[in-house]
């Protein structure tokens, strides 16, 4: 089974869309994406600096737009059997699965980004990756500090989220055998701090008419396979304030017999996690148009 995966917030870097503008139709596609999302995505992806594109309202539609540009440019995608997305990457995964149209996804993710940015502005919060250590001990210490395990990424990585002073205390006294790395995000995503954004997104999603998936898709809410388009959209709404269980998604992919993974732009993070959790499974990160060729080769190659 060949799987396409789509990354989440924090994977963007300044200028990363520039190589994609030379692809046929990319400029026109980005113009439409910009209109639908309410963000100048060409400027954001080619000119704006790291601080500016770190803004949640910018980063989320920018990442989804990049993923969809690379998905549409990918030869051999008819050989993709299933898809999964990490956090905001689930919007691009929903398009690849046939649940949402590009327009649906970009309009909705624009609303999501603005709503989450507004919720984040109410409190001084952030996120930090905790690498290594004993998972139970890490979660216990997070609870002691009033922090939430917002992402279970597998491969010995948990992302803590909460108030900045609590994150500073975590960094000053990390759990035994761990490293704590602050993330370039502007809020405590996938926690109760995002509850106001859930209601905004639920209202916006209520008018959608999603299709049932044409490819297998797994939710990072609990790693479960989802057969209903409406159910997947409901999970998209709820995951704004719920932990991302990417560890369970990878377990589900292993159970499904994954034989190859292609991560769409801005790629790298999910392939890195898969190389540690799904050892021996071939993978390709599509960071630029040049990587579309090895990705297509991986998709077309017979499983061994």
Tell me what pLDDT residue 28 has: 95
Our answer to whether residue 37 is catalytic in this structure is no
Instruction: Kindly give the residue spans of alpha helices, DSSP state H, lying in the chain.
Output: 26-37, 41-46, 50-54, 56-73, 89-96, 102-121, 135-145, 164-172, 195-205, 229-238, 246-255, 269-277, 292-300
Burial letters 177-200, b for 16+ CB under 10 A, else e: ebebeebebbbbbbbebbeebbeb
Helix (H, G, I), strand (E, B) or coil at 279: coil
Q: Check whether 197 has a pLDDT greater than 70.
A: yes
Sheet order of strands, 148-154 included:
148-154, 157-163, 125-132, 178-182
Beta strands per DSSP E along 155-223: 157-163, 178-182, 216-218
Does position 57 have pLDDT exceeding 90, yes or no? yes
Dihedral over Cα of 22, 28, 33, 297: its sign: negative
What pLDDT is attached to residue 304?
60
CB 84 within 8 A of CB 93: yes
Q: Parallel, antiparallel, or unpaired for β 125-132 and 157-163?
A: antiparallel
269 within 8 A of 97, measured Cβ to Cβ: no
Q: What is the DSSP letter of 75?
A: T
- pLDDT tens profile 209-220: 999 999 999 999
- Identify whether 87 is a catalytic site residue: yes
- Looking at 11, 190, 252, 283, which residue is catalytic? 190
Q: What is the pLDDT of residues 88-122, one digit of tens each?
A: 999 999 999 999 999 999 999 999 999 999 999 99
Residues of the chain with pLDDT > 90, as a percent, come to 95
Q: What is the pTM of this model?
A: 0.95
Q: What is the rounded CA–CA span in Å between residue 304 and residue 292?
A: 21
User: How many angstroms separate the most distant Cα atoms in the chain?
Assistant: 53
Quick one: pLDDT at residue 225?
97
Indicate the CATH number for domain 2-121+191-300: 3.40.366.10
The residue ranges of every structural domain in the chain are 2-121+191-300, 125-182
Among 11, 37, 67, 87, the active-site one is 87
Q: Residue 29 CB: number of other CB atoms within 10 A?
A: 19
Domain 125-182's class?
alpha beta
Q: Each residue of 270-296: pLDDT tens digit?
A: 999 999 999 999 999 999 999 999 999
Average pLDDT over the chain, rounded to an integer: 96
Q: Over the stretch 116-139, which tens digit does the pLDDT of each residue have?
A: 999 999 999 999 999 999 999 999
């Amino acid at each position: 089974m060949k799987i396409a995966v789509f990354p989440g917030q924090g994977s963007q870097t300044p200028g990363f869309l520039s190589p994609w503008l030379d692809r046929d139709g990319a400029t026109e596609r980005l113009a439409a994406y910009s209109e639908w999302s309410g963000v100048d995505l060409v400027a954001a992806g080619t000119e704006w600096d790291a601080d500016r594109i770190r803004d949640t309202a910018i980063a989320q539609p920018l990442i989804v737009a990049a993923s969809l540009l690379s998905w549409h440019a990918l030869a051999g995608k008819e050989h993709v059997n299933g898809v999964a997305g990490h956090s905001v990457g689930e919007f691009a995964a929903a398009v690849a699965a046939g649940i949402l149209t590009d327009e649906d996804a970009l309009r909705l993710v624009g609303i999501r980004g603005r709503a989450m940015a507004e919720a984040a502005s109410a409190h001084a919060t952030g996120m930090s990756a905790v690498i290594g250590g004993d998972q139970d001990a890490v979660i216990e210490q997070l609870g002691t500090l009033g922090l939430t395990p917002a992402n279970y990424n597998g491969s010995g990585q948990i992302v803590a989220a909460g108030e900045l002073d609590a994150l500073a205390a975590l960094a000053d006294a990390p759990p035994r055998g761990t490293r704590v790395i602050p993330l370039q995000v502007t809020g405590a995503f996938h926690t109760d701090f995002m509850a106001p954004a859930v209601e905004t997104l639920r209202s916006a999603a209520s008018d959608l008419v999603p299709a049932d998936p044409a490819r297998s898709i797994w939710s990072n809410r609990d790693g479960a396979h989802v057969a209903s388009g409406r159910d997947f959209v409901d999970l998209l709404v709820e995951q704004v304030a719920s932990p991302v269980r990417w560890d369970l998604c990878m377990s589900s992919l292993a159970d499904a017999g994954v034989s190859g993974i292609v991560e769409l732009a801005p790629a790298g993070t999910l392939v890195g996690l898969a190389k540690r959790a799904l050892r021996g499974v071939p993978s390709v990160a599509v960071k630029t148009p040049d990587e579309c060729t090895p990705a297509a080769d991986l998709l077309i190659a017979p499983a061994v």
